[in-house]
A = this chain, B = another copy of it.
Amino acid sequence: MDLDLSSVEPFRAEVRDWLRAHVPAAPLPSLETGEGFAAHRAWERELAAARLSVVSWPARYGGRDATPLEWLVFEEEYYAAGAPGRVSQNGINLLAPTLFKYGTPEQLDRVLPPMASGEVIWAQAWSEPGAGSDLAALRATATRVDGGWLLNGQKTWSSRAAFADRGFGPFRSDPEAGRHRGLTYLMFPLDAEGLTRRPIGRLDGKPAFAELFFDDVFVPDADVVGEPGEGWKVAMGTTGSERGLTLRSPGRFTAAADRLVGLWRERADPADTALRDRVADAWIKARAYRLKGFETVSRTEDVGAESSVNKVFWSELDVALHETALDLLGPDGELEGDWLEGYVFSLAGPIYAGTNEIQRNVIAERVLGLPREGKA
């Protein structure tokens, strides 16, 4: 498929102009605080009012039916403008693709518009103590009751859950079934009766996560996504989306790389070719990721296991880029600031959404066709 970059220039200009006029001059307070969370929610509302919160969605849910290329362009402009972090991203990047694939029309109509408007902020609730990348080891249960399900057990490292409104994730509905079977994918309110949330800090102490304790939390049938017992398949659909471009759009990295080049120009000793080499390498890799993004949206076939290639690449690029920035800052590298926050955030990349070790297994076995390893 041809990508006509010039045809999207009007859209790019609209986005750029709007962002120039609306992006707050001073950074919002951290979205890992109550005050900052509220400010970020207000920003989502502002985006939505301009129909810029979910450009690739159908118009009926709050989007503008943007093409994948337009979405790439939106992301480039968004991050280049230094616009606030997306507090809605768990919903938009993880839950919404799942609903588009497995949700009922009623669910789409009910869930998506308030997600697009920032009225309802979603938290993912997948991991459990002892079950991180190994989803088949989940133990929190969903028990069938009249008209719905009762949730019990514990979830952890639930991103955004400290302040969000609702959560989603797979629960074990049939304890007798095998590891991958008997899971059901559910949505639930975080202020439900019987649900306790305890914020936990990430590496820099900020409460980017929470632990969730479920004690007979009722969820109606209407909030099951896909078929009961099919939670594994539903979750894997989301995982595929996580590993593709959606989770980390190229615009994030091209913007970060440009800022790194700026930092280099401003702070580095130009004679320091060792740093120069790393700054250039980060910029080249961000550009490669961008071009690969154009390539991906040019193709019609499913990306499939190749999304694992993307995930390994962007997550390592992100770490290397931020390590370079910290090294460039020298003794200031350990100090609180945007670069340090970006570094801490980047460190999660090789771990979550399937560790890079698992991704490399997938690449080796499903893309390269190497023999499967005997797994007990």
Residues of A within 8 A of B (CB): 271-277, 374, 376
- A273 CA / B275 CA spacing, docked (Å): 8
Closest to A374 in B: B374
- A271 CA / B272 CA spacing, docked (Å): 8
Partner pick for A271 among B271, B275, B376, CB 8 A cutoff: B271
11 A–B contacts, CB within 8 A, in A order: A271-B271, A271-B273, A272-B273, A273-B273, A273-B274, A273-B275, A274-B274, A274-B276, A274-B277, A374-B374, A374-B376
- A75 CA / B297 CA spacing, docked (Å): 60
Question: Which of A272, A273, A275, A374 has most chain B Cβ within 10 Å?
Answer: A273
CB distance from A6 to the nearest CB of B (A): 38
CB distance from A232 to the nearest CB of B (A): 26
Closest to A275 in B: B273
- A89 CA / B169 CA spacing, docked (Å): 63
By secondary structure, the A interface counts as helix
| Contact partners of A272 in chain B: CB under 8 A | 273
- A345 CA / B276 CA spacing, docked (Å): 31
Closest to A269 in B: B273
| Contact partners of A274 in chain B: CB under 8 A | 273-274, 276-277
- A275 CA / B272 CA spacing, docked (Å): 10
CB distance from A95 to the nearest CB of B (A): 38
CB distance from A278 to the nearest CB of B (A): 9
- A374 CA / B271 CA spacing, docked (Å): 52
CB distance from A96 to the nearest CB of B (A): 41
CB distance from A320 to the nearest CB of B (A): 15
| Contact partners of A374 in chain B: CB under 8 A | 374, 376
CB distance from A297 to the nearest CB of B (A): 35
- A272 CA / B274 CA spacing, docked (Å): 7
CB distance from A370 to the nearest CB of B (A): 15
| Contact partners of A376 in chain B: CB under 8 A | 374
Closest to A277 in B: B274
- A277 CA / B271 CA spacing, docked (Å): 13
- A271 CA / B275 CA spacing, docked (Å): 12
- A225 CA / B276 CA spacing, docked (Å): 58
- A325 CA / B271 CA spacing, docked (Å): 21
Ranked 10 nearest A-B pairs via Cβ:
A274-B274, A273-B274, A274-B277, A273-B273, A272-B273, A271-B271, A374-B374, A271-B273, A274-B276, A273-B275
- A362 CA / B374 CA spacing, docked (Å): 20
- A278 CA / B136 CA spacing, docked (Å): 45
| Contact partners of A273 in chain B: CB under 8 A | 271-275
- A277 CA / B273 CA spacing, docked (Å): 10
- A189 CA / B277 CA spacing, docked (Å): 54
| Contact partners of A271 in chain B: CB under 8 A | 271, 273
CB distance from A169 to the nearest CB of B (A): 30
CB distance from A241 to the nearest CB of B (A): 33
Contacts A273-B273, A273-B274 given; 9 further ones with Cβ under 8 A?
Answer: A271-B271, A271-B273, A272-B273, A273-B275, A274-B274, A274-B276, A274-B277, A374-B374, A374-B376
- A54 CA / B120 CA spacing, docked (Å): 79
CB distance from A329 to the nearest CB of B (A): 17
